[in-house]
Copies of this chain bind each other. A is one copy, B any other.
């Protein structure tokens, strides 16, 4: 009798970013300040990726960095800003330059587009967007949405096109090396988004033994069948937050926002914290142990 071997899907952050070709379409995980794949964004910048399209609901500093470094040319999303502070400075500038284009949906529309892609159907029904410019105006999609009359009730329903990006990038709490992932706290749109991608890269705060996962299968949020690659990436969302792991570093975020108001400031930030460091560990080293240790979540609080 053959004992089932544990498939090892682990690769490094550098290797993971190398998988993404220029021009690829990505689902981008995390929501607001929660679990953005920040370290992955940094590595895409370091590797000088170009012309990516990103699908997400609402993202912040992570996608502002990707726009600033000319990594992303197209977004389909519902929201971007540096919440609680102001507008996303780099995206603003890149839009003015014509380097970035945005196709606007609502958060629910985007989440359903991921669910539709994950379910293998070409659209999902929705009761938002009706009567607005979100329905009337499109930026680069040939057909952004379609209103139909329900064959059962006669009511108007919006159909939004499903998304199956080339890659889904999600940052989770923990994962085993086979790719079974757990997410503490809110899931945002990551459950659907992780299932929508043709290939899936899971980054995690920690890698746990597969026996730990299998002792509580109802805690698995993304099962291994969907996952192609696993990357251990502690503090991978810094300076944003990971539920039960660490809080955001608002001092750093405010510094970023202030500095990125000018192109020169952004270039300086990028050089200092992203392109000027070798890798994620060197970035964390630059931030400093004292700062990171202070941010750790304090039980029973998840922050």
Known: A148-B151, A151-B146, A161-B152. A125 touches B124 (CB 8 A): yes
| Size category, A interface | 20 to 34
Chain A 133-192 interface residues, beta-carbon cutoff 8 Å to B: 143, 146, 148, 150-153, 155, 157, 159, 161, 183-186
Chain A binding surface SS class: loop
A125 surroundings in chain B (CB, below 8 A):
116, 119, 121-125
With both chains docked as a complex, state the minimum distance between the C-beta of A100 and any C-beta of chain B, in angstroms. Answer: 24
A122:B157 contact, CB within 8 angstroms:
yes
Bound together, the chains give a CA A121 to CA B128 distance in angstroms of 11
With both chains docked as a complex, state the minimum distance between the C-beta of A54 and any C-beta of chain B, in angstroms. Answer: 20
- A120 touches B (CB below 8 Å): yes
Which residue of chain B is the closest to A146 with respect to CB atoms?
A: B151
Known: A121-B126, A127-B121, A218-B184. A151 touches B157 (CB 8 A): no
A184 surroundings in chain B (CB, below 8 A):
218
Bound together, the chains give a CA A161 to CA B152 distance in angstroms of 7
Of the candidates B127, B143, B152, B185, the one whose C-beta lies within 8 Å of that of A218 is B185
A152:B146 contact, CB within 8 angstroms:
yes
Bound together, the chains give a CA A260 to CA B58 distance in angstroms of 57
- A84 touches B (CB below 8 Å): no
- A300 touches B (CB below 8 Å): yes
- A215 touches B (CB below 8 Å): yes
With both chains docked as a complex, state the minimum distance between the C-beta of A189 and any C-beta of chain B, in angstroms. Answer: 15
With both chains docked as a complex, state the minimum distance between the C-beta of A145 and any C-beta of chain B, in angstroms. Answer: 9
A150 surroundings in chain B (CB, below 8 A):
122-123
Of the candidates B120, B146, B157, the one whose C-beta lies within 8 Å of that of A123 is B157
Known: A148-B151, A151-B159, A159-B151. A215 touches B300 (CB 8 A): yes
- Enumerate chain A interface residues (CB-CB to B < 8 A): 116, 119-127, 143, 146, 148, 150-153, 155, 157, 159, 161, 183-186, 215, 217-218, 300
13 cross-chain CB contacts under 8 A: A120-B127, A122-B157, A123-B152, A123-B157, A125-B125, A143-B151, A146-B152, A148-B148, A148-B151, A152-B159, A152-B161, A185-B218, A186-B218
